[in-house]
Structures are given as structure tokens and as C-alpha cells.
Amino acid sequence: MRSTKRLPQFALLFLCICATGVTGAPPQKHLSVYSVAANYSLPVVQREGRDYVGLLELLEPLGKVSAKSDNRGWRLRYNNIEGDFQTGKPRARVQGHDADLGAKFLVENNRGLVPVSALTALLPRFLGGPATLHEASGRLFIGSVATHFTVSLTADNPPRLVFHFTSPVNPIVATEPGALRMTFSREPLVSPASPTLTFGSKTIPSANYTEDNGTATVTVNSTIPVIASFSSDGRTVTVSPTSAPAPARAQITNPSGPANPVTPPPAPGAPTVASSPPVTASRRYFAVVDASHGGDDYGETLSNTLLEKDVTVALARSLRQELESRGIPTLVLRDSDANLSVDQRAIFANADRAAIYVALHAASSGHGVRVYTALLPVGSDDRGPFRSWTTAQRGSLPISQHTANAIASEMQKRQIPVRTLSAPLRPLNNLSGAAIAVELAPQGSDSSQLTAPDYQQLVTSAVATAIAASRDQLGASQ
């Protein structure tokens, strides 16, 4: 009886909890940073009605940076440039010159926080180049990195809308009745001359460009269902009418491209992976470079101050630069200290249908470079058009081994000790395309050599040269 009386109270509490869950907390604000070295995102905190960001975290991916806090204030050193900040003071000194922050400098848990609005004035003092801030949308462009685009409507019936981008793009594409939306979270996309574009077409009358919370969005308004397809290595996106009505609200996380009716990538542990791309599938990144480990997974502790996960990120950036300088569009899977499971890595690479996947590792033991291909475990049988998840690599193993040998040959030309081996290393066995892992060890006994830019560049240039030389075979393999 007593419990029956309390039932309405429990019901009310339950409803409150449900309502809280449904409405949720407001989304975390982010600052997206675009630079030649890296594109990344940082959390923004609000203090005294202003947006603040950690200065050390902001500069960390761009160069060598350190900070220390003492009773005289908070001191930051970026490469050879020093900055002195005083808690609660709106001014700082950088290289002996005053810099106006516009609001108080704050220190929380030894993190130095600067107002986001001060970055345009403050960063050039450290970086020696311009920084452009889109403050309202939380987007920061360091140097000339912006990706521009043009749009044109074809004379076909029905017409198609063709976007040309100055760099490869990889947006999330969502369709809903009357609109197709492309969200660019990692690309430094900037607005065209006018944020609203009109085309004088009944089927695709207009498109809008907007920016918000670290992302840029292009919305194509249409009176008929449309889909987007990618070409020119991700530099061209064509929005065209579908022959069949689009689903009411279909969302496709696009590495695979919305024009590609591939089944969604398998959930982690799922037993199968789509075996071969449909004829219309288009590849936007030729190479996927994976900085192994990350987040809670440190990899090997190479020394008291050096973790494998940090070396692999630096190597990945170097390899991307080397590949792109050879005209090979490259996606770096982990460009920050993020947790990514091996299943997620395989799903990304498989969905992108990249011609080659390169996992990067570092080790303190041994000398030189080791190039690995998959050691296939005992797996279940392929079923029709689907391959076993654990042995998805089987069909591509010969081209993977060919590429590994080509890399070894390039290393030998540069007098770097090298071995090629098979290894029970995930996710190599889960990838349907060519897949290798490169493990970098010091040439001598000093692990600190792993962070030497010259050594890293020597190795990554050898890898990139070999991939470029195998481009035809790799491109034809998928």
C-alpha cells in the first residue's frame, strides 16, 4: 500500500530523467584549427562570459612547445620564442613585446587559458605568420590553408550541380526531403563570395554555406531527391537526382561516398566485410596512413619521456607530406591523441576503399625499419560476396607483399637496415585492400633518434617513393 502511494513520485522522477536524457546537455564548443602541419579540434571553455582555449594544447601540434608555471607567472616556450603570462592580467609579453589579450589570462590545473578572441593577435607573435579566426563559428586558419570551392549547374535534364574544391574533401553527407547537406569538420573550407548561391533551376534552386561550432556546412536545396558522388580524388562533388526516391532521412558518414551503395561497414567484431566495390565506387584517398595507438593506448614506452603513440603521429604527418608531394591524396586516420580501436581503423580504411593502408609503429629494440604484411589467422569462410572479417586481407596479400618489398628496396637504396616479415598484427588482416605496417627502430641504440626529423623524413620519403612507384599496381588492385 505504502509503495503504491509512492508510485506517482517514482513515475515523475523517471519522466524527469528521461526528459533530461532526451534534451541532453548543450553541445561542447570546439575550436577547429587548420594548418599545414595538422588539422585538429580543441575544446573551448567559457569563463566570465568569454570563450577560452588552452594555449599549450593549441600550439602543441604545430611545433616544439613547453610550459612551466611558477610564482612569477606562466611561461610558454614555442620553438625558440618565449611568452610570459600573468594570471588575471590582460597583457602578456612575447619575445619582449607586449601583447594585448583583451581579457584576463587564466591558469587552471597548470593549463594556461587565453581568450579565443586574442588568438588573431597573439599567434602571429609565436608562429611568425598570419592567423585568421572565424570567431563566431570557432574556426582558426593558420597560414594560407583555406580550401575554396566553385559551383556550377550543368545543362543536362535534369541538371546536376558540380562543386569543384581546391583540395580533396571528405564531408559527412546527409540527405533529407528537400535538401542534401555536406558537413566539413576537417577541411579548411571557406565561404564563397556569397553564402547563398542561386541557380535558377526548378529542381536545384539554391545552395547555402554556413559555419557553426568548428564545422562548415553546404546545404543544397532541391525539389527532388538528390545524391552526391565524388570524383577527381575528392576534389569534385556532383549532386545529381536519384533515379529512385531517397530514404526519408538517410545519413552516410562519407568515406565511402553517398553514390556508392555499399553496405555500411561492419560493426566491430562483425564477421563479414563487403568484398568488392560496385562499378560506380570512387576513391578519394589513394593512401590511408594510420598513426597506431593513441589516447589510452600508449604503445611502447620508448623512453622516460617518449611514447610510441607520439612518434607515430609525427611519422604519419611526415608520410602524408611525402605522399602528397608525389601527388598521392592521403588521409591520416589519427592526427591527434584520439582513441581509435583497430576495428574502427579497419572500417575507415575499408569504407574509403583506399588503394593502400599504411600503419605506422615505432620500437626501441632492433635497428632500422621493419615492414610487415598480415599473418592471416584461422578464419571463417567467405560467404558469397562477403569476406570473413578476420581474413579480409587474403585477396590483397600478394599486392601488399609486393609493396612491402618495394619499400624494402627503397630503404636499402638509402642504406637503412630493413626486413620484411609477416606479423599477427591487427588490423592488417581485416583490410580488404593492400595493407602494410612500418615499424621504425633507431639506427643505433638511442631511442631519441626516433624523433629526429631527418631520420623520420628519410624513412617516410622511402615509403612514399615506393608507393608512388607501385601506384599503377595498387590502383588496379581494388
Instruction: Give 154-191 as a DSSP string.
Output: -SSSS--EEEEESS----EEEEETTEEEEEESSS-B--
CA distances from 431 to 362, 391, 401 (A): 21, 8, 14
Q: Is there a contact between 177 and 214 (Cβ–Cβ < 8 Å)?
A: no
410 binds other proteins (CB under 8 A): no
CB of 370 to other proteins, least distance (A): 6
Minimum separation from the CB atom of position 361 to other proteins (A): 6
Grid coordinates in use for 238?
556532383
Buried-exposed string 371-389: b where 16+ CB fall within 10 A, e elsewhere: bbbbebeebeebeeebbbb
From the list 301, 325, 339, 415, which residue makes contact with other proteins (rule: CB under 8 A)?
A: 301
Instruction: Count Cβ atoms within 10 A of the Cβ of residue 272 and give its class: 0-12 exposed, 13-18 middle, 19 or more buried.
Output: middle
Question: Could you count the other beta carbons within 10 Å of the beta carbon of residue 454?
Answer: 8
- Please give the Cα distance from 333 to 39 (Å, whole number): 12
Chain CA centroid to CA 476, Å: 26
Beta-carbon contacts of residue 69 (< 8 Å; ≥ 6 apart): 75, 107, 110, 112
Under the criterion CB under 8 A, does residue 63 sit at the interface with other proteins?
no
CB 125 within 8 A of CB 94: yes
Closer residue to other proteins (CB): 321 or 401: 401
Residue closer to other proteins, measured from CB, 355 or 359: 359
Residue 422 touching other proteins (CB under 8 A):
yes
CB of 391 to other proteins, least distance (A): 9
3-state SS class at 258: coil
Q: Does 308 bind other proteins (CB under 8 A)?
A: yes
Q: Is position 145 an interface residue for other proteins (rule: CB under 8 A)? A: no
For residues 115 and 52, the answer to whether their CB atoms sit within 8 Å is yes
Applying CB under 8 A, among 104, 186, 320, 370 the residue interacting with other proteins is 370
Residue 434, classed as helix, strand or coil, is: strand
When asked if residue 237 is in the footprint of other proteins (CB under 8 A), the reply is: no
Give least dist CB 377 to other proteins, A: 3
241 touching other proteins, by CB under 8 A: no
DSSP class of residue 148 equals P
Nearest CB to other proteins, comparing residues 325 and 365: 365
- The pattern of x and - marking residues 312 through 351 that bind other proteins according to CB under 8 A reads ----------------------------------------
Q: Which is nearer to other proteins, 79 or 380 (CB)?
A: 380
Would you count residue 424 as binding other proteins (CB under 8 A)?
Answer: yes
CA 384/CA 281 separation, integer angstroms? 20
Of 221 and 401, nearer to other proteins (C-beta) is 401
CA distance 82 to 91: 14
Q: How far is the CB of 404 from other proteins (least distance, A)?
A: 12
Q: Give me the phi and psi of 144, to 5 degrees please.
A: -90, 80
Binding status of residue 364 toward other proteins by CB under 8 A = yes
- Residues contacting residue 302 through CB under 8 Å, at least 6 positions apart: 308, 311, 362, 363, 364, 447, 450
# of chain residues touching other proteins (CB under 8 A):
29
Determine which residue in the list 138, 411, 439, 451 makes contact with other proteins, applying CB under 8 A: 439
14/298 with CB nearer other proteins: 298
Binding piece for other proteins, criterion CB under 8 A, among 41-49, 146-154, 206-214, 361-369: 361-369
Q: Taking CB under 8 A as the rule, does residue 297 contact other proteins?
A: yes
186, 235, 293, 353: residue in contact with other proteins (rule CB under 8 A)? 293
Q: Which is nearer to other proteins, 260 or 312 (CB)?
A: 312
Task: Establish if 306 lies at the interface with other proteins (CB under 8 A).
Answer: no
**Cβ atoms of 338 and 294 closer than 8 Å:** yes
Question: How far apart are CB 376 and other proteins at their closest, in Å?
Answer: 6
Is 421 a residue that touches other proteins (CB under 8 A)?
A: yes
How many C-beta atoms lie closer than 10 Å to residue 213's C-beta?
17
Stretch binding other proteins (CB under 8 A), from 7-15, 210-218, 297-305, 318-326: 297-305
Among 167, 272, 275, 390, which residue sits at the site for other proteins (rule: CB under 8 A)? Answer: 390
Instruction: Encode 11-30 in three state secondary structure.
Output: HHHHHHHHHHHHHCCCCCCE
Contacting positions for other proteins (CB under 8 A): 293, 297, 299-301, 308, 361, 363-366, 370, 372, 375-379, 390, 419, 421-426, 429, 437, 439
